[in-house]
């Protein structure tokens, strides 16, 4: 079993419902151990009037990374996400941040997620789950990486209770 961290986000209403539905689907194939609080963040890479609702989760799975990605893409599609080469508003976004200590750099999949170390909306929820976690490709603590990301603003909205979904 591999320990994985996923980052989930939505900026199309009903945001929390999309996150809940994604977690319900994820629970069908992965063993979710812990979920962060919900955070609000501005879009990155494009302008949008809609803030994102974000969270991170820690889970265990025996699904290999490329099959996990395929499973995640099927959930995104099921929840109305359309594939696009440009950043745009979305019903759901699920990213594999870490897959154990593996470092994967293929055409279809890069783990750790290539932008995770630059995104407060990823680092802060992950750090909430495990503040001693080490970023596999850099051997830096998440807390140290978070200190370097100064300009992005995120706000903790509320605790997330997985038993409520």
Alpha helices by DSSP H, the chain: 15-26, 65-78, 120-129, 142-148
Q: What is the DSSP secondary structure assignment for residue 83, as one 8-state letter?
A: P
Question: Of the residues 89, 95, 108, 132, which is catalytic?
Answer: 95
Annotation says 144 is catalytic: no
Question: Of the residues 93, 108, 130, 147, which is catalytic?
Answer: 93
Annotation says 81 is catalytic: yes
Angle in degrees, CA 131, 3, 114, rounded to 5: 75
Residues facing 154 on adjacent strands: 41
Residue 59 three-state SS: strand
Question: Of the residues 81, 108, 120, 130, which is catalytic?
Answer: 81
C-beta of residue 41 within 8 angstroms of C-beta of residue 51: yes
Annotation says 95 is catalytic: yes
Distance CA 44, CA 164 (A): 30
Distance CA 34, CA 39 (A): 15
Q: What is the DSSP secondary structure assignment for residue 156, as one 8-state letter?
A: E
Q: Annotated catalytic sites, by residue?
A: 81, 90, 93, 95
């Amino acid at each position: 079993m591999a320990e994985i961290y996923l980052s989930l986000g939505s900026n199309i209403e009903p945001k929390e419902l999309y996150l809940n539905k994604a977690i319900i689907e994820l629970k069908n194939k992965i063993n979710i151990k812990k979920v962060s609080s919900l955070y609000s963040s501005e879009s990155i890479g494009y302008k949008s009037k809609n803030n994102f609702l974000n969270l991170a989760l820690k889970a265990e799975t025996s699904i290999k990374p490329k099959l996990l990605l395929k499973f995640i893409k099927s959930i995104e599609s099921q929840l109305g996400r359309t594939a696009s080469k440009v950043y745009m508003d979305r019903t759901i976004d699920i990213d594999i941040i870490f897959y154990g200590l593996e470092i994967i750099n293929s055409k279809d999949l890069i783990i750790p997620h290539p932008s995770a170390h630059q995104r407060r909306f990823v680092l802060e929820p992950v750090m909430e789950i495990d503040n001693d976690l080490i970023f596999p490709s850099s051997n830096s603590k998440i807390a140290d990486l978070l200190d370097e990301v100064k300009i992005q603003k995120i706000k903790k909205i509320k605790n997330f209770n997985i038993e409520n979904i």
